[in-house]
């Protein structure tokens, strides 16, 4: 591959240039992959203090171990130039998206929720971002969000490294305490900035405007937080309270974590967003049920009455529809739209979620015309459909999995501990040649969940320590946008699992004999799928496992519980664990 040599890399294409250096598309000749290379200005290599800070910050990023963190491949110095090797991201930033107009409230909250997860992962290990703004949030075509540019991050518990006293960060989103050099600064400054970005995502404008930096500083120090519902009529008033808390002048009055902010925002928009008169009467019941998982403004934009069609085997992104005309209240001067490749610099946090929804099918023209004709009969509107439970936010997943103590009790074991926390779904496509048995082959497998609309997952493997163990549990949860989508995945699984019932399939293991699994009957009892199988030819002379899958609210619970004790052959451990996890899912 052509390009300019740079150590082990070939610099193929300049993607961007800024005050802190250049970003290149590059080919890593050692790993034979395309990466993004951030090259810092050469003069910085002469600054030993900066080099020390650079390495410490890059090392701090490497400490992050979370499903939403994109790892740094490498960093260091080549030919007297500091660099960072990282994953290449295609998409555009939130600032560019907002140049086209403010976001639908549900979409805005989904993006903020993802950024909140990224920040939460950083805050837990003592890292601040300190420059949260729309241009530092990347979006791919499915609104998968990445928080970028931790180049100015620092460890909270480390000595401040900047000597000049200059404040880092963009003044449109800066927390009041960061304007006072004497004030303590912690993660709540990032919470303030995230609330500012939420406000701008909803209204199309930053929370405070001013022609000078002094005006912005005065506003952040003294002006009350703005109310998005007064600027945009279809934003629920409850969102005003979220902004007010997130942007409180006193850090002690803000949310304690970014997850609390995201959860509050999610709760605030679960009530119908659009006014009742804005929704066609025949669609009112549908809108009431789906307001939590689908922007009502999308419904209002439909020219025809539509029916929801749940798709059992494909819950991917909603097909792109023409962008409706911007609301009259939005008068923002558009920024130039800059599409293309955007690359994270120095430290990237990835925030995982899949975008899913309903497929909307318009009525036939005849039926639509007939529905629109006036009738001499008195039309009695149907009673309102009771609202379902509030969807579980991604941030709540961390508390759903069972503790090692609970797992040991459920399995009748001692000493089981977490030996692996998965950051990516597994893939048994190469290990299980029999496609019909892949869905039953293990929990939270990428080919099984593909295109189902899942947003995020948590998965842990627990067993006794050492190379010889008698009990193993693989427990996982996956959150969907709505209970409807989670239920559709369960229905699809209920159709697929029986294809592997009462027969054998082979699982290949590199360097070891194939494992022959004998599957028993598949049961679907009271909303829980289950199947047991024995494994022969494995490391253990005899093994039994039970798979269990159930749904609570918009969360799918997926479990496998295994034992090498023959006495456990008839146990119901997998189902019991799945039920205990499901009982922890909020349903109100």
Active site residues: 131
Query: Does residue 314 sit in helix, strand or coil?
Result: coil
What separation in angstroms does the CA of 334 have from each of 13, 101, 102, 173, 201? 29, 8, 11, 19, 14
How many angstroms separate the Cα of 292 from the Cα of each of 36, 202, 489?
37, 16, 18
DSSP H/E element including 559: strand 555-563
Reading the block at residue 476, the tokens are: 């996982």
- The three state secondary structure string of 422-456 is CCCCECCCCCCCCHHHCCCCCCCEHHHHCCCCEEE
Report the candidate in 389, 394, 445, 451 with the shortest Cα–Cα distance to residue 422: 445
User: Is 38 annotated for ligand binding?
Assistant: yes
Contact 78, 84 (CB under 8 A): no
Q: Give 475's Cβ-side CA count (13 Å radius).
A: 32
CA dist 587 → 387, 545, 554, 583 (Å):
12, 29, 9, 9
Structure tokens at 221: 């120090």
Helix (H, G, I), strand (E, B) or coil at 125: coil
Contacts of 421 (CB under 8 A, 6+ apart): 65, 459, 460, 461
Question: Biggest alpha carbon distance in the chain?
Answer: 85
Beta strands in 322-403 (DSSP E): 348-351, 359-362
Structural contact between residues 39 and 22, judged by C-beta atoms closer than 8 angstroms: yes
The first and second tokens of residue 579, run together, are 């039920």
Integer Cα distance of 207 and 227 in angstroms: 9
From the centroid of its chain, how far is CA 24? 27
**How far, in Å, CA of 507 to CA of 145, rounded?**
35
What phi, psi does 454 have (nearest 5°)?
Answer: -65, 150
The CA-atom distances, in angstroms, between 344 and each of 46, 170, 227, 352, 365 are 24, 18, 32, 16, 48
Query: Helices H, strands E: what count in the chain?
Result: 15, 23
CB 569 within 8 A of CB 544: yes
- Binding residues for ATP, as ranges, are 38
Binding annotation: 38
């Amino acid at each position: 591959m052509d390009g300019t040599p740079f150590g082990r890399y070939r610099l193929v294409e300049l993607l961007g240039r800024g005050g802190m250096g250049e970003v290149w598309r590059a080919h890593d000749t050692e790993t034979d992959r395309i990466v993004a290379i951030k090259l810092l200005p050469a003069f910085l290599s002469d600054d030993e203090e900066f080099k020390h800070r650079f390495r410490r910050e890059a090392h701090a990023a490497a400490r992050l171990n979370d499903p939403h963190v994109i790892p740094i491949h490498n960093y260091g110095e080549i030919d007297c130039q500091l660099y960072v090797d990282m994953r290449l991201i295609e998409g555009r930033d939130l600032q560019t998206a907002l140049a086209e107009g403010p976001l639908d409230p549900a979409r805005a909250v989904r993006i903020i929720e993802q950024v909140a997860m990224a920040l939460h992962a950083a805050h837990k290990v003592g890292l601040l971002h300190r420059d949260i703004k729309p241009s530092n949030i990347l979006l791919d075509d499915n609104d998968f969000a990445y928080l970028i540019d931790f180049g100015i991050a620092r460890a909270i518990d480390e000595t401040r490294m900047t000597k000049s006293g200059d404040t880092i960060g963009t003044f449109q989103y800066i927390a009041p305490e960061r304007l006072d050099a004497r004030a303590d600064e912690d993660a709540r400054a990032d919470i303030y900035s995230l609330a500012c970005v939420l406000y701008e995502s909803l209204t199309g404008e930053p929370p405070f405007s001013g022609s000078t930096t002094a005006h912005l500083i005065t506003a952040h120090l003294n002006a009350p937080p703005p109310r998005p519902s007064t600027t945009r009529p279809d934003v629920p008033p409850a969102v005003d309270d979220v902004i007010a808390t997130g942007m409180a002048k006193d850090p002690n009055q803000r949310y304690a974590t970014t997850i609390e902010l995201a959860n509050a925002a999610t709760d605030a928009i679960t009530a119908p967003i659009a006014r009742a008169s804005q929704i066609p009467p025949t669609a009112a019941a549908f809108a009431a049920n789906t307001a939590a998982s689908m922007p009502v403004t999308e419904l209002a934009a439909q020219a025809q009455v539509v029916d929801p069609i749940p798709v059992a085997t494909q819950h991917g992104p909603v097909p792109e529809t023409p962008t409706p005309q911007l609301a009259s209240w939005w008068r923002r001067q558009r920024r130039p739209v800059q599409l293309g490749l955007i690359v994270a610099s120095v430290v990237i946090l990835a925030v995982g979620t899949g975008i899913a929804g309903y497929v909307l099918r318009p009525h036939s023209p005849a039926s639509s015309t007939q529905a629109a004709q006036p009738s001499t009969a008195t039309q009695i509107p149907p009673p309102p459909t009771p609202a379902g439970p509030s969807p579980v936010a991604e941030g709540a997943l961390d508390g759903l999995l069972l503790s090692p103590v609970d797992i040991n009790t459920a399995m009748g074991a001692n000493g089981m501990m977490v030996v692996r926390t998965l950051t990516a779904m597994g893939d048994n496509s190469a290990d299980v040649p029999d496609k019909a048995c892949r869905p039953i082959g293990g929990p939270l497998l990428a080919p099984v969940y593909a295109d189902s609309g899942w947003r995020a997952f948590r998965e842990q493997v627990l067993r006794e320590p050492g190379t010889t163990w008698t009990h193993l549990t693989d427990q996982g949860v996956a959150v969907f946008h709505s209970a409807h989508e989670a239920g559709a995945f369960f229905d699809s699984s209920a159709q697929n699992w029986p294809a592997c019932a009462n027969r054998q399939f082979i699982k290949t293991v590199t360097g070891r004999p194939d494992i022959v699994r004998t599957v028993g009957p598949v049961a679907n009892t009271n909303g829980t799928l289950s199947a047991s199988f024995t494994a022969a030819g494995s490391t253990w002379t005899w093994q039994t496992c039970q798979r269990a899958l159930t749904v609570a609210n918009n969360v799918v619970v997926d479990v496998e519980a295994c034992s090498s004790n023959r006495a456990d052959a008839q146990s119901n451990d997998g189902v019991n664990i799945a039920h205990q996890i499901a009982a922890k899912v909020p349903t109100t």
